[in-house]
């Protein structure tokens, strides 16, 4: 009988957080078994291009993959694709897969990401109703936009607006419907919501805002558009539903881990079980700097939380405490947002630079401090904006709004921490 003392670190979810964790385990010196389990068909890839360059046929398929296929075996990472984990037995330190396998672990990372929220309206199951999360969704959407004359999009959030831009680029007439009065208003507020509404109108998108959907209409099993609650019809050959996502917490919940808007973890990304970690979209992590838990559905959180979880699986004491960051590209408007504004916070938005020129930085202020900054078509400033936000400094408004003043000169020497 062979007795193996090799340790096994298991990662469920072969997305960005799972893959960066696997990589960091190896670069961090772990020489045991790393098993990366994912239920998708393809090797791990990046999702942002699925609503941008790749959806618009501006980049090659090869470019979206996180590593070349051979990299996983070269690193001694056992990548098991099309393998769905169905249960975690925390007492036995084992997971079960849909194929009936049981795999033991010493440490386990949950990086199961999230899934699009589904509409539960009449017509929601018709052919031609499209969601966007996976590579195959993107490829189906690309084909649908090529074939369609008219596209209806439900939801004026990031994914809805980026797909609207892609459908316009494919030559489709596009209508975006949202119950909110402005695009992105919950995330960015009224002023930026108006800027995004104007951007899309300028590019020929029809926005039906403050509008509720009663039904996805169909004929012969295929979607033909939307019927709004006020009876109006939006005719379409394809309907995109982009109404947010929900974290994939089912496994963690069934295993009895603490759940609250995602898998609850501390700043070390440890769950309520010291041998189980969570990272990426699924993790609701404690941010010491902010003094609160946040579940961020951002690429940068998945990218950077994976390695922090890996360090802690290796017995270190690393904390994830970054200033939240995300980006979006729509038409000729590229932006990066750094910071955090609590929902319902009575904030004020000010602009450094002229909005009309398309190059400016919007700042969200609270009590004279910068809570967040969004640079639009101005690059290489996110480090300075993040540092300014983190400094918690009360800033001189005239200097903040003067593009001639270096952002780094606005907070020197002040490190009071963020808004309460």
Ligand X SMILES: Cc1cc2nc3c(=O)[nH]c(=O)nc-3n(C[C@H](O)[C@H](O)[C@H](O)COP(=O)(O)OP(=O)(O)OC[C@H]3O[C@@H](n4cnc5c(N)ncnc54)[C@H](O)[C@@H]3O)c2cc1C
Q: What is the contact surface with ligand X in residues (CB under 6 A)?
A: 12-18, 37-40, 47-48, 50-51, 84-85, 111-114, 132-133, 159, 248, 251, 280-281, 297-300, 302, 326-328
**Nearer to ligand X among residue 18 and residue 218 (C-beta):** 18
Select from 333, 54, 52 the least CA-distant residue to 202.
Answer: 333
107-110 and 114-116: which strand pairing? unpaired
- Residue 251 in 3-state DSSP? helix
**Nearer to ligand X among residue 376 and residue 395 (C-beta):** 376
Rounded distance, CA 360 to CA 357, Å?
Answer: 8
Joined together, the tokens standing for residue 160 give: 């809805």
> Minimum Å distance from CB 217 to ligand X?
26
Rounded distance, CA 315 to CA 378, Å?
Answer: 40
> Minimum Å distance from CB 388 to ligand X?
20
> Minimum Å distance from CB 140 to ligand X?
13
- Residue 118 in 3-state DSSP? coil
> Minimum Å distance from CB 176 to ligand X?
16
**Nearer to ligand X among residue 41 and residue 212 (C-beta):** 41
Rounded distance, CA 233 to CA 217, Å?
Answer: 9
**Nearer to ligand X among residue 42 and residue 414 (C-beta):** 42
Rounded distance, CA 135 to CA 113, Å?
Answer: 14
- Residue 108 in 3-state DSSP? strand
**Nearer to ligand X among residue 48 and residue 193 (C-beta):** 48
**Nearer to ligand X among residue 184 and residue 365 (C-beta):** 184
Select from 342, 344, 323 the least CA-distant residue to 411.
Answer: 323
> Minimum Å distance from CB 13 to ligand X?
3
> Minimum Å distance from CB 215 to ligand X?
26
> Minimum Å distance from CB 30 to ligand X?
19
Rounded distance, CA 322 to CA 310, Å?
Answer: 16
**Nearer to ligand X among residue 253 and residue 367 (C-beta):** 253
- Residue 216 in 3-state DSSP? strand
Residue 322: DSSP 8-state: P
């Amino acid at each position: 009988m062979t007795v193996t003392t090799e340790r096994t670190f298991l990662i469920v979810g072969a997305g960005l957080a799972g893959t960066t964790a696997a990589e960091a385990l190896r670069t961090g010196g772990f020489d045991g078994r790393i098993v990366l389990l994912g239920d998708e068909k393809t090797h791990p890839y990046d999702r942002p291009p699925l609503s941008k360059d790749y959806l618009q046929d501006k980049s090659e398929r090869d470019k979206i993959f996180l590593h070349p296929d051979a990299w996983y075996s070269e690193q001694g990472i056992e990548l098991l694709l099309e393998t769905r984990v169905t249960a975690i037995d925390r007492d036995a330190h084992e997971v079960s897969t849909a194929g009936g396998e049981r795999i033991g672990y010493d440490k386990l990372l949950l990086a199961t990401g999230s899934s699009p929220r589904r509409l539960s309206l009449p017509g929601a199951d018709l052919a031609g109703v499209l969601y966007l999360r996976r590579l195959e969704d993107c490829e189906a959407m690309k084909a649908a936009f090529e074939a369609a004359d008219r596209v209806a999009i439900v939801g004026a959030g990031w994914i809805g607006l980026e797909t609207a831009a892609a459908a316009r680029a494919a030559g489709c007439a596009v209508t975006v419907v949202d119950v909110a009065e402005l695009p992105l208003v919950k995330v960015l507020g009224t002023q930026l919501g108006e800027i995004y509404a104007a951007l899309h109108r300028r590019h020929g998108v029809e926005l039906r805002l403050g509008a509720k959907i009663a039904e996805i209409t169909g004929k012969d099993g295929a979607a033909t558009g939307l019927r709004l609650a006020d009876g109006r019809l939006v005719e379409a050959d394809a309907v995109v539903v982009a109404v947010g996502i929900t974290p994939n917490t089912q496994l963690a919940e069934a295993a009895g881990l603490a759940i609250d808007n995602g898998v609850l973890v501390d700043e070390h990304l440890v769950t309520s079980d010291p041998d189980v970690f969570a990272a990426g979209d699924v993790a609701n992590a404690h941010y010491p700097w902010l003094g609160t838990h946040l579940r961020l559905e951002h690429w940068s959180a998945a990218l950077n939380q994976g390695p922090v979880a890996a360090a802690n699986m290796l017995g270190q004491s690393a904390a994830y405490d970054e200033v939240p960051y995300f980006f979006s590209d729509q038409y000729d408007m590229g932006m990066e947002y750094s910071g955090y504004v609590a929902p319902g916070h009575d904030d004020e938005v000010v602009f450094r630079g002229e909005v009309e020129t398309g190059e400016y930085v919007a700042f969200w202020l609270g009590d004279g401090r910068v809570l967040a900054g969004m640079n639009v078509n101005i690059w290489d400033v996110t480090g300075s904006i993040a540092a300014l936000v983190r400094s918690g400094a009360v800033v001189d408004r005239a200097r903040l709004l003067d593009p001639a003043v270096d952002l780094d000169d606005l907070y020197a020497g002040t490190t009071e921490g963020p808004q309460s």
